[in-house]
Structure 1
Amino acid sequence: MEHLEIERKFLVKSDGYKQKAISQNRIVQGFLNTDPDRTVRVRIKGEKGFLTVKGASNASGTTRFEWETEISVSEATNLIDLCESGILEKIRFEVPFGNQIFEVDEFLGENKGLVLAEVELKHEEERFERPEWLGEEVTGRIKYYNSQLSKKPYKVW
């Protein structure tokens, strides 16, 4: 199937990624729909807006349908005003390690204190090097999905 996202998600146990980051962007995002079978996300990342539709995850939580298109920041801002409550804010660091780019998200606001890393893969069994700052794997744990963090933030766990 086209448009498959294959990724694994981890807690981050130290800030060793910061000095190795090649970019850093503030992200604001909300959800027009958080149904587990089809989430619809609106995101502003830096000076760009995005609309993303994601399908349900497979049993392992690593693979799901994802479709995304760029929209203007003004369109994204207008759509965020229509989103369900629980707008997420985070700083995303892109960190190369081995043959991969890890995306490390430092959450702000109601999710402050939570730091997650994701790595996108070509297939579910792809091997990758693990940086020393990578902690416990949380792939497939629904409470770590952004759509769920918008409903039940980290500070209330």
Structure 2
Amino acid sequence: MEEIERKFLVISEAYKDVASSKTRIVQGFLSTDAERTVRIRLKGEQGFITVKGKSNSEGTSRFEWEKEIPANEAEALLKLCLPGVIDKFRYEIPIEDVVFEVDEFFGDNEGLTVAEVELAHASQEFPKPDWLGAEVTGNVKYYNSRLSSHPYKKW
């Protein structure tokens, strides 16, 4: 249940040409406590509840637990979430043995596009496509839980 990932800014829309899927995601947070976040997500027609622990000092890994829930329950729980619902499209881009997830944000976070890649271990090598920009792994202002309360448009 440990999530190991790296996060990057995206500097062009070239990822759209190689994406294998595009899904709308709407998510909110029941808790954005620094020690734990509780997220409710609608991903397409699927609902999820996710609990994430505090990141390690590098920001590369943390505890993550996720369960699928009925979409109507996710919709009801979204109404209980803290202000600042996140709305985005997620593109999945498989390259070699990893899959990049590129999030294109809307609403108060419009203009921000971020790529994440999950890894099997912290030192795993992975390709870096041309559309990948500066690494922001561990920078809390790019966490979705922070974007919900401190949106990109207000930076």
The answer, yes or no, to whether TM exceeds 0.5 is yes
1:59-97 residue CA offsets vs partner (Å, 9 max, x unmatched)? 000000000000011000000000000000000000111
Please give the TM-score of this superposition, normalised by the length of structure 2.
0.99
2:43 maps to 1:45: yes
Question: 2:43 is aligned with what amino acid?
Answer: K
Secondary structure of 1:17 counterpart = helix
Q: What residue in structure 1 maps to residue 150 of structure 2?
A: 152
Count of aligned pairs: 155
How far apart, CA to CA, are the structure 1 residues paired with 2:34 and 2:8? 20
Q: What residue in structure 1 maps to residue 78 of structure 2?
A: 80
Q: What residue in structure 2 maps to residue 138 of structure 1?
A: 136
How far apart, CA to CA, are the structure 1 residues paired with 2:97 and 2:127? 8
User: Offset of 1:98 from its aligned partner?
Assistant: 2.3
Unpaired segments ≥5 residues, structure 1: none
How far apart, CA to CA, are the structure 2 residues paired with 1:76 and 1:40? 12
Q: Of 19, 32, 57, which aligns to 1:21?
A: 19
Q: Of 60, 63, 67, which aligns to 2:61?
A: 63
Q: Of 101, 104, 107, which aligns to 1:106?
A: 104
Unpaired segments ≥5 residues, structure 2: none
